[in-house]
A and B are shown apart, each in its own frame.
Chain A
Amino acid sequence: MTERYVGRNVYKVDAQDKVMGKAKYPDDIYFDNMLYLKIKRATHPHAHLRRIDISKAVKLPGVVKIITADDIPQVKNFGLIIKDQPVLVGIGQKMRYMGDALAIVIAETKEIASKAVRLIEVEVEELEVISDPLRAMEKDAPLIHKDGNILATHYLEKGDIKKGFAEANVIVENEYRTTFLDQVPLQVEAGVGIYDEESGFIKLWVASQWLHDTQADVAQSLGFPKEKIRIIQPVIGGAFGKKEDISVHIHLALAAIATKRPVKLTYTREESMIAQSKRHPFIIRVKTGATKEGYLTAWQAEVIGDTGAYASSGPAVVHKGMYHCTGPYNVDNVKGVAYTVYTNNTYAGAMRGFGTTQMAFAYESQMDILAHKLGIDPAQFRLQNAYNIGSSTPNGQILTHSVGVKETIKKAAEIAGWKGGLR
């Protein structure tokens, strides 16, 4: 069958609007009588909020309203997997990272809102700042959340790891570390909100990677019926995982309700980097065994993922990384453990690869080290261990179809002119 459009380089359907500058991204939406928001954020990475004084800020001409936690007792925490993120930190509550919101300033202009934020006075009682996940895991470390600093532990066990290492002629053991990365979508977090008093509807124009999930989280946090929260997707200026989490949404909704006027909130790049999700830094301890003929026998991995102050996608990211610990290679004996750990760093969530990007740095370094130790061409070493139909992943999933991994090794080597013992 010949396809007419599938498999063809059809031009992007939204490209013309984009090259003409007509595409409307969240910050490009304007309404008459619109107010601007700025957020007063945490003044310390780990501290109890003792006092917040907005009296000077409210007096600034052009400031319409300032919302603090006292004004919204009914509002609940939010979060992608675990609802552990406060909308606003209240008196007596804790700020857990520098991105936590303390107050929403609503003003006639952006400049006035920024100025007012600087006039808000905050007193805190400082706590030990935990920036290192290894410190967070120690027994005497202060708790960032009440249920402990280890948010999640996941396990992997296939075959007999002891037997696997006993069969190995060569064993390679290393520790790899990756760092916090920002997704850096060119468009920072931004949005516009409107509250219609008569119908009780909140309308939000905010970029979201998953519209209906965002709607559900906003609704549960505000205590609104889901159908009263309408989110309309503007054009999205990149995401890479960063637009999965709530950012401006709930603050916009609260400000729209409080003022009955259209409201806009746009982060600065700095705010986006400090307040919004990161790629998890991983500590990966890995031990790999192979026979002298170059076949993998055992693979053991321990992963510690720093998820920062809040869970976000963390529990899913860190173990997905571990579930990919062997790469696309046949290994009968696998053992792994993955810890997702709270710290007072900026929270980590989704970023392209979702934990498996960090893990690939470890497993593909291990493969290379082993190939060199064994004196086998690195491409050949991969080829002879790579999955076939019928192979079993670290999860024990038997691959029944669409396993083109060997072909990718052969083709990449071929177009690169790779010289070596490719069979």
Chain B
Amino acid sequence: MKKQGRGIATIMFGFGYGEGFPDHAIASAEIEEGGKILIRTAAADVGQGVLTIITQIAAEVLKVKPEAIRIIPGDTHLTKNSGSSSATRQTFFTGNAVKEASEGLLSNIYHYASIEFRSNHVELGIKDGYIFRNDNPKNKLSYWELAERVKERGDSLKAEASFFPRTDIPDPKTGQGKKVYVAYTFVTQVIEVEVDTDTGIVEVLNVYTAADIGKAINPKNVEGQIEGGTVQGIGMALMEEQVIKEGITLNPDLTSYLIPTSMDTPHFATLLVENEDSEGPFGAKGIGEPATIATTPAIANAIYDAIGVRIYHLPITPEKILKALKEENKRGNKEGF
């Protein structure tokens, strides 16, 4: 018999390395020849899209099209430390560093343009990579023309910035600390499943997500993280296990270690809570890891809602469900503890 159920899970994730670790990111922005603005960062884009996020931030601050931004590929000898693409930290850390570096560059653009235009900063306007006096917008200088002039003065148009928030080492005896993580991301998922009580097979039908991410720099990216994280969570909840017996992995391939396929993709509805109230760039917080965390417990709770049995050992395989149902029938009561 097929039974449907619904479960909820709410999670938090303290992001960044935190715990007093000297976690930071360095970035720079410079006007380069050929009509581009060069951003230097070592932030690794593992697919999550940090390079796109950085591009958007730099374009926003510097008032140019995203196409004008060029990011140098990560290279220990051409970029400085941006910290790890882990701990859900790149949008927050490198995003902030790039924002500050871009703001630094913008300030320099104002500074040198005010010399060129013999004007004060407030009388200057900026649009699409040009700077001009508001009273005569036709007489304008592109950033790149300005860079040439600055070069003639023996200087260059660039800025470097870092983001280095302080956190505290928790007390070793109690784990207590004033600021252990830079901030927390919160996610709630409601998940609907269908359990076949004859086969024990669980199908995840619908996933409703609300995520407090402060501000989505790129909403589609955030959705992509949530969908991808959720499907990894489905894997963790229902099928994935590297079986290691006496030190030997019994299933070291994708034939016997199953991960979700497109057939396992549920229907998604996602809502972003954007209060723009974090210390991240434009109020943003990270989403990479929080995207996967609520899924497994929400599924476990939905399975309980559907069939009245609870599985305490992951993954919740059909065999475990059938066994638990059998025991449940014997005992004839709910919530077995």
Contacts and interface: CB of A to CB of B under 8 A. Distances in A.
B81 A345 contact: no
Contacts of A233: 42, 44, 73-75
A115 interface: no
B46 interface: yes
Interface in A177-227: 177-182, 184-185, 207-213, 215, 227
A180 B242 contact: yes
B112 interface: no
A193 to B, nearest CB: 14
A236 B241 CA distance: 24
Nearest to B308: A372
A155 B87 CA distance: 21
Contact of A175 (B240, B247, B312): B312
B9 A158 contact: no
A328 B11 contact: yes
A129 interface: yes
Task: Among B52, B175, B208, find the residue whose CB has the most chain A CB atoms closer than 10 A.
Answer: B175
Contact of B292 (A215, A278, A357): A357
Contacts of A209: 44, 46, 84-86
B9 A395 contact: no
Contact of B212 (A11, A180, A323, A404): A404
Nearest to A326: B12
A319 B169 CA distance: 13
B190 A413 contact: yes
B217 interface: yes
Interface in B286-315: 288-294, 296-298, 300-301, 304, 310, 312-315
B254 A269 contact: yes
Given A208-B44, A356-B289, A323 B337 contact: no
Interface stretch (B29-37, B156-164, B177-185, B323-331): B177-185
Interface in A314-350: 316, 319-320, 322-324, 327-328, 336, 343-346, 350
A154 B171 CA distance: 10
A176 to B, nearest CB: 5
A7 B74 CA distance: 25
A402 interface: yes
A410 B8 CA distance: 11
Contacts of B45: 14, 235-236
Interface string A108-135: 0000000000000000000001010000
A353 B293 contact: yes
B150 interface: no
A273 interface: yes
Given A175-B312, A241-B86, A368 B304 contact: yes
Interface stretch (A57-65, A66-74, A85-93, A359-367): A359-367
29 contacts: A4-B63, A10-B56, A129-B246, A154-B175, A184-B254, A209-B46, A210-B44, A211-B79, A229-B76, A239-B86, A324-B12, A328-B11, A352-B232, A353-B290, A357-B233, A360-B296, A360-B297, A364-B297, A365-B301, A368-B304, A394-B175, A395-B177, A399-B184, A401-B278, A402-B283, A402-B285, A408-B187, A412-B210, A413-B8
